[in-house]
Structure 1
């Protein structure tokens, strides 16, 4: 198991799940103090599913079919726990944290490809 690949997967899963959570009216209202516009909800859903799909693709490409899906499920669980923690304690910080995770994933990608 490569910890850089795990970090890449965790960052992508966290960003994807955060986008999916923010596409729901209740969580969007908690974070932004207003209802989610329908167009933004569709965009957030698309971005969320894209992040989760990219995470699965990266896990399989970098760790193989034997261990990739197992690592992906672990990263998905860790990302979900982070999203729940942010929504419970600091909902306004969810968007900046999810946006900060994306450059971290980009920084981890070349290191993951080397290892």
Structure 2
């Protein structure tokens, strides 16, 4: 298990789960102080599932099927705990934190592939 692959998976899972959480009207209202429109909610759902799917693909590709899938479940759980903590204590910070996770994933990807 390499730390850079865990960071990549955690960033992608966090961004994906954050998008899924923000697609729900209650969490969107807490974070943005306005209701989510139907188009925005649909876009957030698609982005969320894409992030989770990309994290699974990265885990299995970089660590193998046997270990990558287990590692992915662990990072998905950790990311879910982070999203719940943000939604519970600082819902307005979830969007910037999720947007910060994307450049972290972009930096971690070439390091995981070639490092």
Same fold by TM-score greater than 0.5: yes
Corresponding residue number in structure 2 for 1:32: 32
1:65 matches 2:80: no
C-alpha displacement at 1:79, in angstroms?
0.5
* TM-score, normalised via structure 1 length: 0.99
The alignment covers a number of residue pairs equal to 115
**CA positional deviation for 1:110:** 0.9
**CA RMSD of superposed structures (Å):** 0.5
Equivalent residue for 1:74?
74
Shift of 1:114: 1.9
What is the distance in 1 between the residues matched to 2:55 and 2:93?
22
CA distance in 2, matches of 1:60, 1:46: 21
CA offsets 1:17-44 (integer angstroms, 9 cap, x no match): 0000000000000001111000000000
Paired position in structure 2 for 1:47 = 47
In structure 2, C-alpha distance between the alignment counterparts of 1:109 and 1:41, rounded to whole Å: 28
The ranges of structure 1 where at least 4 consecutive aligned residues each deviate by more than 4 angstroms after the TM superposition are none
Calculate the TM-score normalised by the size of structure 2: 0.99
Structure 2: gaps of 5 or more residues: none
